[in-house]
Amino acid sequence: MSSPSTHPASPDVPSTASSAPDGGPGLVLRNARVGLDGPLRHIVITGGRVAAVREEPPGATEIRDIASAVAVEEVDLDGATVLPGLWDAHVHSVQWAQARRRIDLSGARSAREAAELVLPHLPPSGQAAEVITGYGFRDALWPDEPHRSLLPEDHPVVLISNDLHMAWLSGAALALIGRGDHPTGVLREAECANAMIALPPPPPELLDRWVAEATTAAAAVGVTGMLDFEMADNVTDWLRRVQRQTVDMRVVCSIPRAALDEAIARGLRTGDTVPGSGGLIEVGPVKMFVDGSLNTRTAYCDDPYPGTGDRGRLETPPDELAATMARAARHGLHPAVHAIGDFASAIALDAFESVGCPGRIEHAQLVRAEDFARFARPGLVAGVQPAHAPDDREVADTHWCGRTSRAFAYADLLAAGATLEIGSDAPVSPLDPWDGIASAVARTDDERPPWHPEQAISLRDALAAASRGRSSVREGDPADLMILERDPSLLTPGELRRPGVLGTLLGGRWTHRRSL
């Protein structure tokens, strides 16, 4: 790839963008493959947007005309592929930023093994008892059960399940949140969420720095935006972050259901750009829950979990869900409804049909055969996480036995006319849409054969679902782009997980740059 040339008026281009991306220096990307198996084109970027995609390169006169208003950099991509930047449509930003620094429990094969992974991290006797946190265990197939007695009683230890729906606390950690008499130390669903809120958090300045660093890491794999489902005042938190430091992506801020009244009073409306954010921050949907999760066996299903009479947990009754959705919709706030089991998905679909509003169903992991077509209603998005399918295939085969042909069923959803958006649910999976794209296409992530390969979707469909529906680089669009070493359609499924991102642009400014 040839070296870039820079117009004399152009300053050095920084390696990361400022928090306000639009209106920066002009940029000409020469000899770019535009789209999958695309032709060679030349892309002109000014004012943070794609000004032109053309067969002939801009001449010296045109470059001078552009440079009269802005500095212009020219980069010869030498046939590298340019695609719309990726969006992660389901992230828990603070939990992801913290999980990157926690003890990794993902390899634990039993409760006792998970507890043993904590031991090397205990401080010497007499040292201040800071909370030790582990993350990522999956207990659905363990031979034993988590219990407080397995953890050091006199040191605060908090272990969080991979699906974020369960926390396992030591006696000292339980005492910190006023639950010292809890018999098992295992907290699920609302109890788990309340415990996480009650635990002493890191200093806000430190958390903000960790979150900003996570956006920079995501930019390195081509991510230009995310939908944040952190259970927090995300609008306020993200506005503070972009005003104080570099944030390398756009963020759509969800609103927890508990904050609906406050959001209405503040006049927040889904889709509005937040003033003072430099165009980076947008008001998102209101998050509501119908059920729990598969790994915690609280997903609400038509059939009981094997060996039990338990069908999971209904978090919000249907009438209450519909009434809350209707209230939000009257004030311009779209609902995002968490539904994993097939009964929960049906309840969510009933509510959307009753209220008649746009919005999202998050996860839709198990769907009744007759319900696929109901996802095609106008304005409804199915937020899915394909990386969970290979992660959870054994758990699904065990606890949803006989029903997995309609689990993580992305091909059936697309065939029915549903609109899909791919997310990671980070930290449940890493904040890396390529993991989800490859899993959606291959239905496996290792040497195992594809799981229900009939539910695989095409690379083109997967990329569109991971790019907010943008399938091509078009004139007038924000210059939120990624530059890849090779056309993804030429890659094997394994290679697709690491496609070689040479550069990422946010509003025409570099947030990641390698070998360009």
**DSSP letter for each residue of 369-393:** GGGGGGGGSTTEEEEE-TTHHHHHH
pLDDT at 16 over 60: no
Same domain? For 384 and 421 the reply is yes
Residue 404 domain flag: yes
Main-chain phi, psi angles of 24, to 5 degrees: -85, -165
Residue 92 domain flag: no
Same domain? For 327 and 411 the reply is yes
User: d(Cα 393, Cα 140) in Å, to the nearest integer?
Assistant: 12
How many structural domains does the chain have? 4
Strand order in the sheet with 250-256: 86-91, 223-228, 250-256, 281-289, 335-339, 359-363, 380-384, 419-422
Residue 41 pairs in a beta bridge with 32
What number is the average pLDDT over the span 277-298? 96
Say what the pLDDT of residue 373 is.
98
Say what the pLDDT of residue 343 is.
98
Say what the pLDDT of residue 18 is.
45
Domain termination residue (choose one: 146, 163, 198): 198
Three-state secondary-structure class, residue 64: helix
pLDDT at 17 over 50: no
Residue 89 domain flag: no
Three-state secondary-structure class, residue 99: helix
Same domain? For 151 and 46 the reply is no
Say what the pLDDT of residue 86 is.
98
Residues in the chain: 516
Give the model confidence (pLDDT) of 210-246 as tens digits. 999 999 999 999 999 999 999 999 999 999 999 999 9
Give the model confidence (pLDDT) of 454-489 as tens digits. 999 999 999 999 999 998 999 999 999 999 999 999
CATH code for the domain of 426: 3.20.20.140
Rg (CA), the chain: 24
Domain termination residue (choose one: 227, 252, 284): 284
Say what the pLDDT of residue 424 is.
97
Give the model confidence (pLDDT) of 251-262 as tens digits. 999 999 999 999
CATH code for the domain of 475: 2.30.40.10
Same domain? For 191 and 214 the reply is no
What number is the average pLDDT over the span 357-377? 98
Q: How far is CA 117 from the centre of its chain?
A: 27
Q: Percent of the chain, pLDDT > 90?
A: 86
Residue 516 domain flag: yes
Closest CA to 24 of 404, 513, 506, 516: 506
Q: When comparing pLDDT for 69 and 387, which is higher?
A: 387
User: d(Cα 169, Cα 176) in Å, to the nearest integer?
Assistant: 10
Same domain? For 192 and 209 the reply is no
User: d(Cα 441, Cα 463) in Å, to the nearest integer?
Assistant: 10
Main-chain phi, psi angles of 124, to 5 degrees: -60, 155
pLDDT tier at 134, thresholds 50, 70, 90: very high
What number is the average pLDDT over the span 104-132? 89
Residue 91 domain flag: no
Same domain? For 131 and 190 the reply is yes
Same domain? For 38 and 179 the reply is no
Same domain? For 232 and 317 the reply is no
**Structure pTM?**
0.87
Say what the pLDDT of residue 69 is.
66
User: d(Cα 241, Cα 209) in Å, to the nearest integer?
Assistant: 8
Q: When comparing pLDDT for 201 and 226, which is higher?
A: 226
pLDDT tier at 120, thresholds 50, 70, 90: very high
Same domain? For 456 and 515 the reply is no
pLDDT at 5 over 50: no
Residue 361 domain flag: yes
Residue 48 domain flag: yes
Same domain? For 442 and 478 the reply is no
Q: Which domain holds residue 165?
A: 100-198
pLDDT at 147 over 80: yes
Say what the pLDDT of residue 143 is.
96
Same domain? For 132 and 261 the reply is no
Residue 95 domain flag: no
Q: Cis ω on the peptide bond leading into residue 84 (within 30° of 0)?
A: no
What number is the average pLDDT over the span 4-29? 50
Planar angle of CA 395, 301, 107, nearest 5 degrees: 20
Three-state secondary-structure class, residue 307: coil
User: d(Cα 501, Cα 497) in Å, to the nearest integer?
Assistant: 11
Highest mean pLDDT among 20-29, 35-44, 49-58: 35-44
Give the model confidence (pLDDT) of 269-286 as tens digits. 999 999 999 999 999 999
Same domain? For 458 and 323 the reply is yes
CATH code for the domain of 150: 3.10.310.70
Give the CA-trace dihedral at 26, 28, 33, 38, to 10 degrees. 70
Domain termination residue (choose one: 238, 254, 284): 284
List all residues 6 or more positions away from 135 whose beta carbon is below 8 Å from its beta carbon.
98, 99, 102, 103, 104, 105, 159, 160, 162, 427
